Amino acid sequence: MIATYDDRDGKIWMDGTLVDWRDAKVHVLTHALHYASSVFEGERCYNGKIFKSREHSARLLKSGELLDMPIPYTVDQIEEAKTAMLKANGWTDAYVRAVAFRGAGADMGVSAARNKVQMVIAGWEWGAYYGDAKMKGAKLGISKWKRPSPETIPSQAKAAGLYMICTMSKHEAEAKGFSDAMMFDYRGYVAEATGANMFFVKDGEVHTPKADCFLNGLTRQTVIQILKERGITVHERHIEANELEGFEECWLTGTAAECTPVSQIGDYNFEVGQLTRDITKTYEALVRA
C-alpha cells in the first residue's frame, strides 16, 4: 500500500521546529489555501549534499519578495533547517520541498499584510520523475493552456498559483497516455513542460526557449553552462511551433526531472541521441560529485 503524503513516519521542519510528520498541519483558513499566497522550492539531495542548495534558498527569498511576501528567514537559517530535516530523517538521497506561505491571521480577504508568513521544509525519497523515460524518452502532449504574460504575475517567482494550469495540463496529458505536456507561452512560442524547461538539438547546436515569461530553472542554467564549456553553441531564443518538426533531439531539465530525454511531443518524434545521452550522463555525474 502506498503511503499518502499526510500519513507517514518522519520529521518535518515547521516554523523553526522539527515536528512529527502527521502533526505538521495548518488551519483551514490559511490565506495560501484561499488566495495562493505561497512560494516554494524543489531540491534534490545526492550523497548527503543538496545540489545548488544556497541558490535554491536565495531564490525562495526572491520569490517571496516578488510576491510582496517577505520571508522571515535568512539563507543561512534556511540552510540549517534543511540540514536538520534531512538529519532527523536519516536521509542522504532525497527530494526536499521548502514552502513559504501566508498563514491564518487577522486578515481573511485578498489583503493579508497582517498574517504571519510561515515556512515548512519537508522531504521524501523519490526516484526518477518520469519513470523509465530516462532510457526510452518521455512522451508529451501539447497543452491548450499557455504560460501567462509577465505583466499578469511575476513569472520569475516560483509561485504556487502559477502551477494550477500546469496541473490541469498534466492531468489532460496523462489521460491521453502521455507523461506530461508541452506548453506554449502567451505569444504562441514554445515555452516549457508543466514542471521542466526544454532543450532541442538541430545540426549539432542546441536551442532552448528564452526564459522571459517562465522560470529560468537552476537545472536549465547548469545544463547551458555544461554545453558552453563543451564548446556547443546554445541559442536561447523564441521558438516557433512549426520548428518542432525540424529538431532531431529533445530533453527536459528540472530538479525533479533532472535531465530526461523526450521521444515525442504531440505528432513530432525525436531520437534519444548521443548529445542527449551525454548531457544526461554529465549532469548525473555533476550532482553526485
Flag whether pLDDT at 3 surpasses 90: no
Cβ-Cβ contacts under 8 Å for 49 (sequence gap 6 or more): none
How many separate helices (H) and strands (E) can be counted in the chain? 7, 15
User: Once rounded to an integer, what is the mean pLDDT over residues 196-216?
Assistant: 97
Q: Write down the catalytic residue from 134, 139, 158, 170.
A: 158
Can you give the pLDDT at residue 178?
A: 96
Supply the pTM of this predicted model. 0.95
On whether the CB atoms of residues 130 and 138 are closer than 8 A, the answer is yes
User: Once rounded to an integer, what is the mean pLDDT over residues 153-177?
Assistant: 96
What is the DSSP secondary structure assignment for residue 149, as one 8-state letter?
A: P
Can you give the pLDDT at residue 127?
A: 82
Can you give the pLDDT at residue 130?
A: 81
Distance, in Å, from the CA atom of 43 to the CA atom of 95, rounded to the nearest integer, reads 6
- Report phi then psi at 87, rounded to 5: -65, -40
User: Which of 72, 221, 62 is closest to 154 using CA atoms?
Assistant: 62
Can you give the pLDDT at residue 1?
A: 60
**Residue 234: strand pairing partners:** 206
Can you give the pLDDT at residue 283?
A: 97
Return the number of other C-beta atoms located less than 10 Å from residue 228's C-beta. Answer: 12
Q: For residue 103, how many C-alpha atoms fall within 13 Å in the half-sphere facing its CB? A: 14
Domain boundaries along the sequence of the chain: 11-124, 133-287
- Collapsed DSSP state (helix, strand, coil) of residue 11: strand
SS in 3 state form for 86-146? HHHHCCCCEEEEEEEEECCCCCCCCCCCCCCEEEEEEEECCCCCCCCHHHHCEEEEEEEEE
User: Once rounded to an integer, what is the mean pLDDT over residues 257-285?
Assistant: 96
- Collapsed DSSP state (helix, strand, coil) of residue 222: helix
Question: Looking at domain 133-287, which CATH architecture does it have?
Answer: Alpha-Beta Barrel (3.20)
On whether the CB atoms of residues 183 and 191 are closer than 8 A, the answer is yes
Domains 11-124 and 133-287 share a fold: no
Can you give the pLDDT at residue 107?
A: 94
Pairing of β 138-147 and β 180-185: parallel
What is the CA angle 172-175-177, rounded to 5?
Answer: 115
188: pLDDT confidence band, cut at 50, 70 and 90?
very high
Q: What is the pLDDT of residues 74-98, one digit of tens each?
A: 999 999 999 999 999 999 999 999 9
Q: What is the pLDDT of residues 117-147, one digit of tens each?
A: 999 999 999 887 787 777 789 999 999 999 9
Residues across the chain: 289
Flag whether pLDDT at 28 surpasses 80: yes
Q: What is the pLDDT of residues 236-248, one digit of tens each?
A: 999 999 999 999 9
User: Once rounded to an integer, what is the mean pLDDT over residues 194-205?
Assistant: 98
11 is catalytic: no
Can you give the pLDDT at residue 267?
A: 96
Cβ-Cβ contacts under 8 Å for 54 (sequence gap 6 or more): 75, 79
- Collapsed DSSP state (helix, strand, coil) of residue 53: helix
Flag whether pLDDT at 21 surpasses 80: yes
Flag whether pLDDT at 112 surpasses 80: yes
Can you give the pLDDT at residue 166?
A: 97
Cβ-Cβ contacts under 8 Å for 4 (sequence gap 6 or more): none
Q: What residue type is 45 in one-letter code?
A: C
Distance, in Å, from the CA atom of 253 to the CA atom of 246, rounded to the nearest integer, reads 21
The listed CATH number (3.30.420.10, 3.30.470.10, 3.40.630.70, 1.10.10.10) that belongs to domain 11-124 = 3.30.470.10
- Report phi then psi at 7, rounded to 5: -140, 75
On whether the CB atoms of residues 18 and 86 are closer than 8 A, the answer is no
Can you give the pLDDT at residue 139?
A: 97
